[in-house]
Amino acid sequence: MKSTFSKIFLFLLFCAFSVKLKAQQNENAKPWVFWYWVQSGISKKGITADLEAMKSNGIGGAYLMTIKGGKSSNPSLYEKPVEQLTPEWWEMVKFAMDEAKRLDLKLGMHVSDGFALAGGPWITPELSMQKVVSSKITVNASNTKIKLPQPETKEGYYKDIAVYAYPSPIGTNQSTRIITPKITASNGADASGLVKQGNKQNFGSSEPLYIQYEFEKPFTCRTVKIKVSGNNYQAQRLKIEVSNDGKTFRSIGRLDPPRHGWQDTDEDVTHSIVPTTAKFFRFVYDKTGSEPGSEDLDAAKWKPSLKLVHLELFAEAQINQFEGKNGSIWRISKRITSEQLPSNLCVPLNKMINLTAKLKADGSLDWKLPAGSWTILRIGHTSTGQTNATGGAAIG
C-alpha cells in the first residue's frame, strides 16, 4: 500500500512539473514586438489600449522605442505631445511599466531615443564617436615658416595625434586639381564641374556615354578619385580608355566597385590603377555586365544610371579604396597589386620623421627642413558628427 501511494505521489508530482514546464515553454515561445512611441503622441489611454491588444493577441513582450518628437512636424500631429525625457514622459514610461506588470507582459527599453544606439544630449563632441582625419602640405628648404593646414573638424572639436614628414613621393601635387584638362562628354553635356573644387552639381546620364579628359601634355595617372551625391554603383565601374592622339584608344580596364552597405555616403572612393601615361583619358559608362544588387552591393539595387560630382585624376599613387581598409567606412575591397602600386612608389618607414613634438598650438611647425621636397602629414581625430537623428527631444 505504501509503495502504491509513493508511485501515485511521484506520478502526480511529475504531471505538475510537466504542466509548469510546458507553461514556461509556452511563455518563452511567445513573440515580442517593437512598440513605437511616435512623435511624442502618448497618452495613458493609448498605452493601456496598446498593451491590452498585445496581451489578447498572444504577444509576450515589447521593446519600447521612441521615434521623433512633437516638434518634428509643424504643426504638431498631437494636441499635447509628451516630449522625451520630460517629467511627463517619465510618468508615461512608469505607467507603461505598471500596465505591463498588470497584464503579465514583459517590457524592455531601447538603448536610446530613435534608431541609433549611442546618442543623447549628454554626449559632448569629445565623448562622441570619433574618426581619424588628416591634412598634408608639401614644402622645401626655402619654406622658413610652416603652418600646417587644419584637418577636418566637426562639432568644433579636434585633437592632434601625430605629425610626420617624409620625402615627397613621385607625382606629388600633380592632379586635375592643379592641371586642368579639357573635359567633354559624348552626349554634349557640360562635364567641366567634375574637376572643380567645391562642385555640388551632379553630372548624370541614364544612357551609355563617355567623359573625355584631354591634357595639353601627356599626364601620368595612378589614382582616380570619385565622389558621388548619395550612392551610385555605376560611377564606380567606369571603363577607362586612353589615347595619345584622341583617335585610337586602348582599354586599361574597368574600375571595380567595393562591396558596401546602404550607409555608404560619408567617404569618396579612391581607385588605384596601373600607372598610365596618355594625353586622352576616357571614362566609359555602359550598364552592360552590372552585378545585381545585394546587401553588400547596395547601390546596385537601384535602376542603373550614372551620377557624378567629382572625377579626379592623380599622379601620386594611393592605396586602392583605402577608405574601407582604414576603417573610415564599411567597405570590402580587393588587395592592391604590385602593378597598381610598385614598391618604388611607397615611402620607406625609415624615411619617415616623427615631428609630433615640433607642432605648436597654433598649427605652426618648429623644424628646419633638410634639402629636397617634403610632405608633412598632420593626423588627428574629430567627432563623426553623427547623431541619433530619428530621435526627438533626446537627440545628441
Identify the pLDDT of residue 174: 97
pLDDT digits (tens, 9 = 90+) for 160-177: 999 999 999 999 999 999
Asked if 165 and 177 sit in the same domain, the reply is: no
| Number of domains observed in the structure of the chain | 3
Residues 70 and 392 sit within 8 Å (Cβ to Cβ)? yes
CA atoms of 395 and 40, how far apart (whole Å): 13
Asked if 98 and 128 sit in the same domain, the reply is: no
Question: Quick check: 14 pLDDT over 70?
Answer: no
Residue appearing with cell numbers 551620377: 307
pLDDT digits (tens, 9 = 90+) for 240-261: 999 999 999 999 999 999 999 9
Range of the domain at 360: 124-169+347-396
Taking each continuous run of H as one helix and of E as one strand, the counts in the chain are 4, 19
For residue 219, is it within any domain? yes
Asked if 34 and 137 sit in the same domain, the reply is: no
Task: Name the band, by pLDDT with cuts 50, 70 and 90, for residue 13.
Answer: low
Centroid of chain to Cα 135: 20
CA atoms of 251 and 235, how far apart (whole Å): 17
Asked if 203 and 224 sit in the same domain, the reply is: yes
Task: Name the band, by pLDDT with cuts 50, 70 and 90, for residue 16.
Answer: low
Asked if 270 and 375 sit in the same domain, the reply is: no
Asked if 197 and 307 sit in the same domain, the reply is: yes
Residues 164 and 352 sit within 8 Å (Cβ to Cβ)? yes
Question: Quick check: 281 pLDDT over 80?
Answer: yes
Q: Is 12 helix (H, G, I), strand (E, B) or coil?
A: helix
Q: Which of 59, 84, 109 is the last residue of a domain?
A: 109
Identify the pLDDT of residue 8: 61
Q: Which residue did the predictor score with more confidence, 127 or 3?
A: 127
Centroid of chain to Cα 375: 28
CA distances from 129 to 66, 119, 189, 270 (A): 22, 9, 41, 24
Residue 92: how many CB atoms within 10 A of its CB? 19
Mean pLDDT computed over 224-240: 96
Identify the pLDDT of residue 48: 98
Alpha helices per DSSP H over the chain: 2-28, 44-56, 87-102, 322-325
Asked if 61 and 98 sit in the same domain, the reply is: yes
pLDDT digits (tens, 9 = 90+) for 32-82: 999 999 999 999 999 999 999 999 999 999 999 999 988 877 777 788 899
pLDDT digits (tens, 9 = 90+) for 317-363: 999 999 999 999 999 999 999 999 999 999 999 999 999 999 999 99
Helix (H), strand (E), coil (C) string for 325-364: HCCCCCEECCCCCCCCCCHHHCCCHHHCEECHHHECCCCE
Asked if 317 and 357 sit in the same domain, the reply is: no
For residue 283, is it within any domain? yes
Q: Express as a percent the part of the chain with pLDDT over 90.
A: 81
Q: Which three cell numbers stand for residue 124?
A: 559632448
Q: Is 322 exposed, middle or buried (CB count within 10 Å of its CB: 0-12, 13-18, 19+)?
A: middle
CA atoms of 317 and 151, how far apart (whole Å): 21
Question: Quick check: 217 pLDDT over 80?
Answer: yes
For residue 189, is it within any domain? yes
Identify the pLDDT of residue 10: 57
Q: Which three cell numbers stand for residue 54?
A: 498585445
- The contacts of residue 245 (CB under 8 Å, 6+ apart) are 279, 280
For residue 390, is it within any domain? yes
pLDDT digits (tens, 9 = 90+) for 98-141: 999 999 999 999 988 988 777 889 999 999 999 999 999 999 98
pLDDT digits (tens, 9 = 90+) for 334-343: 999 999 999 9
Residue 129: how many CB atoms within 10 A of its CB? 12
Backbone φ and ψ for 169, nearest 5 degrees, come out as: -70, 165
State the average pLDDT for the chain: 92
Asked if 326 and 364 sit in the same domain, the reply is: no
Asked if 164 and 176 sit in the same domain, the reply is: no
Asked if 182 and 294 sit in the same domain, the reply is: yes
Q: Which amino acid is at 100?
A: A
